[in-house]
Structure 1
Amino acid sequence: MSKSEVVPETTGRISYKELKAIVKLGLVQGNLIPAFAGGWLAIVMTNRSFLSSIPELIVMMIGSTLVMGGACAINNYYDQDIDQLMPSKQNRPTVNDRISDRNLIMLSMGMMIFGELLLFMINVPAGVIGLAGIVGYVSFYSIWSKRHTTWNTVVGSFPGAVPPLIGWVAIDGQLSVMALALFAVVFAWQPIHFYALAIKRSDEYRIANIPMLPSVKGFNRTRIGMFLWLIVLLPLPFVMQELGTTFVVLATLLNLGWIGLGLTSFKTSTDESKWATKMFVYSLNYLVVFFALVVVISLIKWI
């Protein structure tokens, strides 16, 4: 029996809350933090006028929001079959038929096309990197790797880490070592963040036959993978020494704190789910604090 035979395809206009779920607004907002940081840092480090750069910064933020939101909407469209099997996804409008497939695709394509137009209006590199993010997320992650390999989270980390690159090139027009360092931070952060969430939902992914690392390899193997990415994060602040010793020290302490929390999983009395929750919450705070440090310390140096 098809989905449309079970219930009507739509039941009215979607609410703002449902729209946020379709475009995964929480995820988009999280990615806007490194996007802004990339743009801001480019302004400071290339000695550009902040006031004259405001238009590019605003257009970059709007374009990035539309591109990421549109890509997430396509992901929701493609994942409808597996989302129906996962209890945590049951309130998605794409699962409970609050939006038709046609309207969902139109919304997604409209957002991505308009977002790309805005990025290309700034400059070609910003548009190209945005397009690479779309292709990487939709094709290589959503359609291919998510359903076929335990490396899916790592594959998805590539397009997920492009926001700071878009932010930087929107201002500078070309990439730099600092921009690549920001990319590397977001790239290494993502497996830890999503593995923590996947540990909590491993049973759901197993039911949906999605080869997430915890569901296939178990907790111990996933924990090792998380530690490897924590180690990758550790030297990255030293690549960003242009921001000064204070930044390097504070960012390193932030990394060591995360490693210390990770080590608590080796206690014999550790509750895997509670540990994963703590790691997930730390990951959310890590992203905000790290890029806040980038912005604040570069601002102090600029002043």
Structure 2
Amino acid sequence: MENGQLLADSALDTTAQSSSKLLRFLIDIKFLLKGKVLVANVLPVFTAYWLALYFHGERFVDYWGTFLLTMLGSTLVISGALMLNNWYEVDLDKKMVRTQNRPTVNGHFALKAVLWSGIITTIIGLVMMLFTTIEATLYSFLGWFIYVVLYTFWSKRRYTLNTVVGSVSGAFTPLIGWAVIAPANHIVPIVMFCILFIWQVPHTFAVAIKRLEDYTRAGVPMLPVVYGVDVTIRQNLIYIITLLPFPFLLITSLGWIFFFVAIVLTIGWIILAAKGSRAIDVKKWAQANLRYSLIYLVLLSLVMILLTSPIFN
């Protein structure tokens, strides 16, 4: 009996250790792929894909294979870019509090393994995108190239404009989703590109202000590090104000409900951004802006999807 109990306890311990290792691995993957960043990039791909089907009179059920290729392929390309970013920036990440859980910093993943994983994941993703359309593959590659080469390798350590360069990369995501179904020379994906480009700048400013000490310690020339928080707060407000005209351009395509929701969301963000100049706790204000930027993106995408779903049509 005792031997049987010992064997059972040993099996339970082994199972618990395996579960713990799996959980640790999944957590490491989450930090390696920057969780929220990955989701924020994949969501516009899906949104634009859905909208393209609607505007071209196609049914979602007829494009299941294309949908899976698009979502998996684009996710792999984006993931590959994020892996390469973590591999290259490990020296900066070691100096920053917010990045201490990344497996490239804590040593859970070997740097060489991360490098090759990023390269292979990118290649597989681009090959999968080739089975959709050449245009969608081109946008996928351009987004990857700008993020990895022009942002990570070139501009981030040199210029405050690194934020703008990185924002161009993320703005390609709706073009990817749309171009799988039809050429992206339509007002909807073009406006989505512009909104995503502008949206990312104040979103990143909020992160930079919130983590100012981290970026200062690492020597990354973010706008608040080089020119100060006050300048960044003013620039933040200007960028958000420039979002106001875009809902007007989509009234014909998406209707008045979208217009009013988008305007209300933008005005709410402007009001919040305007409070920055007199905020007592600027870090708390930056966190509120960061949270609002994510809510803005998710709600805008959901409204677009819902208004073009069978529920409203």
Measured against the shorter chain, the TM-score band is: over 0.9
Rounded to whole Å, the distance in 2 between the matches of 1:272 and 1:104 is: 36
**2:23 and 2:139 mapped to 1: Cα distance?**
34
Question: How far apart, CA to CA, are the structure 1 residues paired with 2:260 and 2:40?
Answer: 24
Superposition pairs for residues 168-183 of structure 1, below 5 Å?
168-183=178-193
Residue 243 of structure 1 is matched in structure 2 by 254
Among 264, 269, 272, which residue is 1:253 paired with? 264
Distance 2:65 2:173 in 1: 17
Large movers: runs of 4+ above 3 Å: 11-14
Kindly provide the CA deviation profile for residues 67-106 of structure 1, in whole angstroms up to 9, marking residues without a partner as x: 0011000000000111111122112110121111221112
Question: How far 1:44 sits from its partner (Å)?
Answer: 0.5
Identity in percent: 34
Q: TM-score, normalised by structure 2?
A: 0.89
For the pair 1:158 / 2:168, whether they are aligned, the reply is: yes
C-alpha separation in 1, matches of 2:215 and 2:53: 42
Q: Secondary structure at the match of 1:148?
A: coil
Higher mean alpha-carbon deviation, 97-106 vs 143-152, is at 97-106
Counterparts of 1:1-303 in structure 2, within 5 Å, are 15-241=25-251, 242-267=253-278, 270-299=280-309, 303=313
**Per-residue CA shift, 1:50-77, capped at 9, x if unaligned?**
2112322221111111000110000000
In 2, Cα distance between equivalents of 1:174 and 1:281: 30
TM-score by length of 1: 0.92
Distance (whole Å) between structure 2 residues aligned to residue 300 and residue 265 of structure 1: 41
Letter matched to residue 288 of structure 2: K
Q: Which sits farther off after the overlay, 23-32 or 152-161?
A: 23-32
Partner of 1:7: none
- SS of 1:244's partner is helix
| In structure 2, C-alpha distance between the alignment counterparts of 1:261 and 1:64, rounded to whole Å | 33
| Contiguous gaps of at least 5 residues in structure 2 | 1-20
Letter in 1 for 2:30: K
- Measured in 2, the distance between the counterparts of 1:14 and 1:50 equals 37
Question: How big is the shift at 1:203?
Answer: 1.2
1:26 Cα offset (Å): 2.2
| C-alpha spacing 1:302/1:44, structure 2 compared with 1 (3 Å) | farther
SS state at 1:27 partner? helix
Deviates most, 247-256 or 97-106 = 97-106
Q: 1:270 offset after TM fit, Å?
A: 2.6
Which amino acid in 1 is paired with 2:142?
A
1:135-176, Cα deviation, whole Å (9 max, x unpaired): 100010001111000011111000111111100001114432
Distance 1:168 1:107 in 2: 28
Q: Distance in 2 between matches of 1:262 and 1:14?
A: 38
Of 282-291 and 13-22, the range deviating more from structure 2? 13-22
- Rounded to whole Å, the distance in 2 between the matches of 1:288 and 1:152 is 24
**Contact between 2:175 and 2:184, CA under 8 Å: does it hold in 1?**
no
8 Å Cα contact 1:43/1:49 also seen in 2: yes
Code of the aligned partner of 2:86: N
Aligned residues of 2:233 and 2:277 also touching (Cα < 8 A): no
Structure 2 counterpart of 1:216, one-letter code: V
User: RMSD value over aligned CA atoms?
Assistant: 1.8
Which is higher, the Rg of structure 1 or of structure 2?
A: 2
Could you tell me how far apart the structure 1 residues matched to 2:296 and 2:184 are? Answer: 27
Q: How many residues align structurally? A: 292
Amino acid at match of 1:243: L
Q: Please, which runs of 5 or more residues in structure 1 have no aligned partner? A: 1-10
The separation in 2 between residues aligned to 1:240 and 1:192, in whole angstroms, is 22
| 2:308 match: secondary structure | helix
